[in-house]
Amino acid sequence: MRTDDIQYAQNGHGPAVTATQEAELRYQTRRLSNHPSIILYDGCNECLVGSSGSGAIYADFVLSVVASEDSSRVLWPSSPGDGWKSGVNRLTGLPNGKKLVSGGTHDKIEVHGP
C-alpha cells in the first residue's frame, strides 16, 4: 500500500491555480487511479496545510481536482496535517462531494517523531 503525495513542494514550487496545472492534476489522477496499491491522496509531504493562507490551495484547488477525478480514495490535506473540517466522510475519509475545508477539530496538529 502507498500514499500518493501530490507533486508539489515548498519554496516557490507550490501549486498555482492554472489551466495547465489543473490538466496535469487530472491526467495524473486518472493515470494513477487504476493502481490498487494507492490507498490515499496526500496534498503534500513535510508542509503544513492549514485552513487559511497559502495552505488552503491544497484543499480549494489541488485535492478538489483530485477528488473530482477519483472519489474512491481517502484524502488527507498534508503530512503533517490536522484533517478536514468538511468535504470528507468523517468515518472513512472519502470525499463526500461537499467543499473541502482543511483544519480539523483536533487540539493540535498530527506530528511525526518522538
Please write the tens of the pLDDT for every residue from 11-67: 667 788 999 999 999 999 999 899 888 888 888 776 655 544 456 788 889 999 999
What pTM does this model have? 0.80
- pLDDT (0 to 100) of residue 4: 65
Quote the strand ranges of 31-99, DSSP E: 38-42, 45-49, 74-76, 79-81, 84-86
> 3 and 40 in contact (C-beta within 8 Å)?
yes
> 53 and 15 in contact (C-beta within 8 Å)?
no
> 44 and 6 in contact (C-beta within 8 Å)?
yes
Going by pLDDT thresholds of 50, 70 and 90, the confidence category of residue 8 is confident
Higher-scoring residue by pLDDT: 7, 107: 7
- pLDDT (0 to 100) of residue 1: 45
54 contacts: CB under 8 Å, gap ≥ 6: 14
